Amino acid sequence: MSLDIDAACGTLQRLQEELGSPPGTELLKTAALALHFIWGSGQLHNFEDYLACFSQAGSPTSFDTPEQAEASLQQPMDPRAPHSVAITGTRYSVGYSVEHGTRFLVRIPNNAELTTTLQPTAPLMSEALAALRQASAHVHSAEEKETVDTALLAIHFILESGQSLTFESFLARLDSRTLPLPLRSFGTRQEADLWLSAHPRPPHGAQVEIAGQRYSVGYSRDSGLRVLVRLPSLEEMDLTSLPEDHDE
């Protein structure tokens, strides 16, 4: 499956307007940004596989202990297909670390958790979850319902994969005038190409730096195509500096 993030954000924007809230407290905006955070940090395919666990009827490979499940992650797997395991009844989806492609497990919450949990350790996230549950009463179509569900699972995915702090620092930097930090820095193109070809599932959407220049990592799981595309400099964009927001 693939995710149309722009369409999803449009729906969340409309629902936010319908719910109404004072400026600065738009909790559905946090949910919309969660989708963008996942995309732009190279976690898109991990998230797609996580989502697949909710729609797949098939039963995952079961293990009695976490050690057995961890050992199974060392076995060869096809990175184009989603994988999941179960450890004593709890389901996990298999993700690939963005940096080296090491496989890791992301816990799949059960139905009760999806409808009731509050995460006291992450107030921002639990507020966003509450707002999404509230928003699901305002959806007009099956597509809108799916968008709200996907955004809800995006928040859970960030929590379960231990990225809450990274997400919060992304939110804090959002309006600053700083360039995104690269995932990795390489001295030469050759080193970067070696990394890209050795990665079992390159983090599509992440940025790396090669000899001081910014590059995007592109990976198509359908065709297996892997690319490093250099991002244009300000001069190439005919800009002398980053644009200012003076037209509002």
Partner 1 sequence: MEPSQGLPQNMHESVLVLRFGAEGQTEYFWQPASAWEQELSELRESTASDTGRIVLASSRPRDCDQEQIDCHRDCMRRKPPYPHGARGSHGHIKYCDNKCLNEYMACLKLQRLESLSFPAIDRAADWLRRHQQEIMVGTIVVAAGVAFVVISAGAGLVVLAPVVLLT
Interaction of residue 226 with partner 1, rule CB under 8 A: no
CB distance 148 to 139 below 8 Å: yes
> Strand 103-107 and strand 185-186: pairing?
unpaired
Interaction of residue 29 with partner 1, rule CB under 8 A: yes
Rounded distance, CA 222 to CA 154, Å? Answer: 22
The CA-CA-CA angle for residues 151, 153, 157, to 5°, reads 115
Helix (H) or strand (E) holding 6: helix 5-19
Q: Where are the alpha helices (DSSP H) in 73-223?
A: 111-116, 123-135, 142-160, 164-173, 189-198
Least Cβ distance, residue 248 to partner 1 (angstroms): 8
Q: Which residues, 57 to 96, sit near partner 1 by CB under 8 A? A: none
Question: What are the Cα distances from residue 19, in Å, to 4, 24, 44, 128, 159?
Answer: 23, 14, 28, 13, 25
In 13-113, which ranges are E strands?
61-63, 84-87, 90-96, 103-107
Least Cβ distance, residue 174 to partner 1 (angstroms): 4
Q: Candidates 15, 27, 33, 85: give the one binding partner 1 (CB under 8 A).
A: 33
Interaction of residue 201 with partner 1, rule CB under 8 A: no
Interaction of residue 173 with partner 1, rule CB under 8 A: yes
Rounded distance, CA 218 to CA 206, Å? Answer: 8
Least Cβ distance, residue 9 to partner 1 (angstroms): 6
Q: Candidates 66, 101, 200, 218: give the one binding partner 1 (CB under 8 A).
A: 218
Q: Candidates 64, 74, 141, 175: give the one binding partner 1 (CB under 8 A).
A: 175
Interaction of residue 238 with partner 1, rule CB under 8 A: yes
Interaction of residue 247 with partner 1, rule CB under 8 A: yes
Residues that bind partner 1 (CB under 8 A): 5-6, 9-10, 12-13, 29, 32-33, 36, 39-40, 173-180, 204-205, 207, 216, 218, 220, 223, 225, 227, 229, 231-232, 236-239, 242-245, 247-248
